[in-house]
Structure 1
Amino acid sequence: MADSDGEFVGDVSDDELADHGAGGAHGTRSKGKDGAKGKSGNRKARWEDIQRSWEEVGEAADGSISLGALLEAEKRRRLLRDTTPLQRGIIRHLMLVLDMSFAMADKDLLPTRYLLTITYAVEFVREYFEQNPISQMGIVGMRDGIAVRVSDMSGNPAEHIERLRVWAEEQEPQGNPSLQNALEMCRGALFHTPTHGTREVLIIYGALLSSDPGDIHDTITSLIADHIRVSVVGLSAQVAICKELCSRTNDGDEGNYAVALHEQHFRELFLAVTTPPVTRTAEQNNASLLMMGFPSRVLASKDHVSLCACHNRPSREGYSCTRCRTKVCRLPAECPVCGLTLILSTHLARSYHHLFPLRGWVEVPWAEAARSTSCFSCQAAFPAVPSKASRLKGKGSSIGVGGEDGQVVPPLLPDATKGVSESGRYACQVCGNHFCIDCDVYAHEIIHNCPGCQSDTRALNASMGEGPDVAAAIANGSAMEIDS
C-alpha cells in the first residue's frame, strides 16, 4: 500500500497508516527499548503487546489477594448454608422437563443451549439418584408445540441417561415450546404416585413464549390441588407465567424460579434440585408405613443363565425378590411381578443425610491455629503460623484491615470473604479437629460425615472400662430401650 509520499509501507494497519500520514515519519509501530520485532521483521504494534492481567493473578508485594484465595472463597461459599434439620421427603417423584424448542439452538451457552442442557441433565440424573437412591424420576421434552416423553418414570438412572444421549444424537431443537402440555403430561405421570412421597416438576426453560392450547391458569390450579411443586430454571430472561407458576405451587415461595447467568451458574441451579424439599402437606407430615424388600445378590453358574424380569435379558447375576423370588438385574427397583420396592440397606442409609445434615465447620483464627500443623483427614500441610509481631505489623496496612488479636483480614468484598479462614483451617464443632478447605467440601458434599467424629474412640474406651460413669450411662440407656 502506498502512502502519501509515494513510498511503500508493508504490514501495517489502517490506524497506523493514519498516524503515519499525520506524523510524516515511516514505521509508526511502537518503538520499545529492545526494539521488539514481529514475524515479518517489523516492530510490533502496540496492540500486539497485550498483557492479560487476569491470567497473572497472584499475591503481590503489597499483599494483594491471590487467585487461590478467590477459589477457596468460592468453595466455602457453597458450604455456608443453613444446616438446620428439617423434615424432608426422602422418597421423591420428579419429572424433568427439558425445553427442546428453537430457543435452545442459541449459542450464548457454549456449545449450544441444547447440548449443554443435555450434558447437565446427564450429570443431574447421576447426582439425583446418588443423593436420592430410593426415588424415581421421568423426563419430558417440549418441542413443536407438544410434549414428548423422553423416558418413563423409573428408578433406574442408566435408562434415563441412555435415552438422553439418544435424543442428543438423533433430535435437533425445533418448534415452539408448550408449557401447558408439558405440565399436563407431568400431572398425569405424578397423579398416581403415593401421598407419602413428594411430587415435583423441574423445568429447564429457554424460550420467552409458550404455545398453549388452553388456559394455563386452569392447569396451575390442578397442580395445586394435586400437591405438585414446580421449579423453573430460565435461560433467557424472567417470564411472568413461570414466576406465577413457581409462586403458586410452592405456597408463595418465589425462590424456586431463577435465571441462569452463565454456564457455572446454570449447573449450580440445576444440581441444587437434588436436595429434597421441605415437607408441607399434612399427608407427608403424618407417619406412614412403607413395605420394602432387601433382597440378596444371586450368582448362578455358567450353565444356569436366566432372564431378568425387568429387561428380559439373560444374565448370571441379579437380585431375588424377597416376596415372589422374581429376578431383577439391578437395585433399587420395583418388582415387575408383585410391585414390592426392592432396595439395599445402604440406599436407605444414604437417604438420611438430608434429614440430619452435617453441621458447618467454623473458621480457625491464627490465635488457635498452632494446635495443628496438617489436615486431620488428608494430612496436607497447613500454612505456618506467623509470629504475633508479624501479624501486628500487618494490622492496618495495605494487606487488609486488622481484626481482633492482630488478625489480618484479606481485602476482599464482604460476600466473597464470608466464611474464609485466614489460617486455611476449618474446625468441626463437635470433635474440634482441623481440616483443609478441600476436605471441608468433600465431607459436606460427598460423604456427609466428619472424619474426626467417625474416628473418635472415646465412647469405645469408656465402654471398655476407662470411663465407668460413661459406660454405666450407656448401659442404662440400652436397658431403657430394651424395656420400652
Structure 2
Amino acid sequence: MGAAAHSTAAATAAGGQAADEIIDIDDTLNADNPEMAEPGLGYAWEEEYKRSWEGIREDEQGSLAGAVANLQHQKKRRRRLRDTQSVQRGIIRHLVIILDASLAMNDKDLRPSRMELALSYLEVFIAEYFDQNPLSQLGVLVTRDAVAEKISELGGNPLEHIRSLHIKRNTMTRGEPSLQNALEIAMNSLSHAPSHGTREILLVFGSLTSCDPGNIQRTVETVKTKNIRCSMVHLAAEVHIFRELCDSTHGQFSVAMNEPHFKDLLLELVPPPPVVTAKTKASELIRMGFPMQVTDPIPTYCACHNRLFVGGYICPRCKCKVCELPTDCNICNLTLVSSPHLARSYHHLFPVNNFKEVPASLQHPEKHCHACLKPFKTARPHRAPHEGIATASVVQTTDRYECPKCRNRFCLECDLFIHDVLRNCPGCTQL
C-alpha cells in the first residue's frame, strides 16, 4: 500500500509538472529567434487583419497631409478603371427597389444605423439612377412584419421616390422581412413593363432570415422565368437563398463591409447591365414621341395622375396632356421622351475608352493638361493598395493619362470628369 501510494503521488507530481509545462506559456518575444524578434510578426490570428494605421507615416515636418493625399490619390486611381466594353445594354430600364424594414435594420454596426444609412444612400442612388438613365422608371417597396408594402409606383420622377423615402424615415422598423411577398409584389409591378425594356429588382437587406408564406424556391423560378434580374446588397452576411436568387437571375450579390463600401456597391448598379439574350434575337425599333411643353392660362387635368397642373407636355399623337417626362401616354401608349434624355442614354452604349497612364520612362514634352491647362505634377512614388510604405524603389507615377484615340494627355481629375460627367473626350471632339 505504501509503495502504491508513493507511486501514485509520484505520478501525480509528474502529471502536475506536465500540466504546468502546458499551461505556463511564455508569450514574450525570444531574442534568440530572429523571426519572432521582428516587430512586424506576431500570432496567426493577429496577422489576419489589415493594419491600415501602419501604412500612414508622418513626413519630416511631422504632418499627415502627404499620407492623406496619397490615400485620396489611390482612391481616385481605382475609380478611373471602369468597364468600357461595347456590349448590348438596355437603356430603358424598369427597376423596383425592395428595402428591408425589419428589426435587423436597427443595428448600429453601420453608423448611425443600418436603416438611416440605407435611406440616405438610396436617395443618392435614385438621383444618380435617373441622371444616368433618364428613360428609365423606378419603384420602391418596403418589407416588414412578414408583409411587403409599396410606397411608390413605377415612375420617372425622382422627387416622388425621394419624398416617399423621407416619409419612411419616421416609420418604426419591426418584425421580420418577407422575401417571397416582396418578390410577388415586385413582379406584379413589372408585369406591365414593355418587352423592349429591362426588368430589374434591387434588394437592400440587413436581416439574415425571411418569413415566407410558401415555397420560396418556386418564387425564385418564377422570377427567373420572367427574365427579371435581381441584385442584392446585404448589410450583414451572405445567405444561401439570397445568393441563389441573384445567381440564377444573372444579378449581382454583395455584402457591404463598411459605410463607403456600401455606397460604392449601390453606385455600381447605376449603369445599365449587359442584356442577356439569345444571339439570334433581332433588334427592334421603338416608336417614341417628343411632346411639346405648354403652359395653360388655367390649371387643367393631366392624363397620367388626373391632377390639376398649369404646365405640362402635349402628346404628339393623341394631344393629351402629361405632367412629366419620360412616361408612357395613358391614351395611345406612346413612349414620350425629350431629346436630351435620349442623348444622355446613349452614353452607356458608346462609352469613352479608358485613358492609359503614361509611364515615367517616356518623354513628356507637354507641360499642361489638355483640358484644364493646369501644369502636370512632378513624378512621385506610388504604391499599390494594401502594401507597404511607399519608398523610392516603387514605380513612379506621372499623373498623366493619354486618350488612345487623339493621343492627348489629361490629369487625373479631368480623366474622372470626362468619364463620369462629360462623357466625351475634348481632344476627340476637335478632330
Normalising by structure 2, report the TM-score.
0.80
Alignment partner, residue 410 of structure 1 = 382
Structure 1 residue 195: Cα displacement: 2.1
Structure 1 residue 425: Cα displacement: 1.3
Change (3 A) 1:296 1:368: farther
Unmatched 5+ stretches in structure 2 = 1-51
Alignment partner, residue 80 of structure 1 = 81
Alignment partner, residue 248 of structure 1 = 248
Alignment partner, residue 217 of structure 1 = 217
Matched, 1:105 2:77: no
Distance of 2:414 and 2:367 partners within structure 1 = 15
Structure 1 residue 245: Cα displacement: 1.1
Q: Which of 344, 362, 365 is equivalent to 2:359?
A: 365
- What are the equivalent positions in structure 2 for 1:314-333 lying under 5 Å apart? 314-333=308-327
CA contact (8 A) 2:94 2:197 kept: yes
Distance of 2:267 and 2:59 partners within structure 1 = 33
- What are the equivalent positions in structure 2 for 1:244-393 lying under 5 Å apart? 244-250=244-250, 256-282=252-278, 285-300=281-296, 303-368=297-362, 370-384=364-378
SS of residue paired to 1:423: strand
Distance of 2:363 and 2:325 partners within structure 1 = 46
Distance of 1:431 and 1:441 partners within structure 2 = 17
Counterpart of 2:93 in structure 1: which amino acid?
A: R
Change (3 A) 1:413 1:164: closer
Alignment partner, residue 26 of structure 2 = none
Alignment partner, residue 137 of structure 1 = 138
Matched, 1:448 2:423: yes
CA contact (8 A) 1:369 1:425 kept: no
Matched, 1:425 2:394: no
Distance of 1:68 and 1:210 partners within structure 2 = 44
Distance of 1:132 and 1:308 partners within structure 2 = 24
Change (3 A) 1:337 1:60: farther
Alignment partner, residue 20 of structure 2 = none
Alignment partner, residue 236 of structure 2 = 236
Alignment partner, residue 195 of structure 2 = 195
CA deviation profile, 1:261-300 (whole Å, cap 9, x unmatched):
0011101111111111111123994311222110122234
Counterpart of 1:70 in structure 2: which amino acid?
A: L
Counterpart of 1:323 in structure 2: which amino acid?
A: R
Structure 1 residue 429: Cα displacement: 1.1
Distance of 1:163 and 1:60 partners within structure 2 = 52
For the aligned residue pairs, the C-alpha RMSD in angstroms reads 2.7
Normalising by structure 1, report the TM-score.
0.72
Moved more, 207-216 or 321-330: 321-330
Unmatched 5+ stretches in structure 1 = 1-51, 386-407, 459-484
SS of residue paired to 1:274: coil
Change (3 A) 1:452 1:305: same
Structure 1 residue 68: Cα displacement: 1.7
Distance of 1:232 and 1:374 partners within structure 2 = 44
More strand by share: 2
Distance of 2:386 and 2:197 partners within structure 1 = 40
Distance of 2:55 and 2:397 partners within structure 1 = 24
- What are the equivalent positions in structure 2 for 1:51-200 lying under 5 Å apart? 59-60=59-60, 66-169=67-170, 171-200=171-200
CA deviation profile, 1:104-159 (whole Å, cap 9, x unmatched):
01111111111111111111111111111111111111101101111111122121
Change (3 A) 1:284 1:89: farther
Percent of aligned pairs sharing the same letter: 44
CA contact (8 A) 2:360 2:396 kept: no
Moved more, 188-197 or 310-319: 310-319
CA contact (8 A) 1:76 1:441 kept: no
SS of residue paired to 1:318: strand
Distance of 2:59 and 2:369 partners within structure 1 = 23
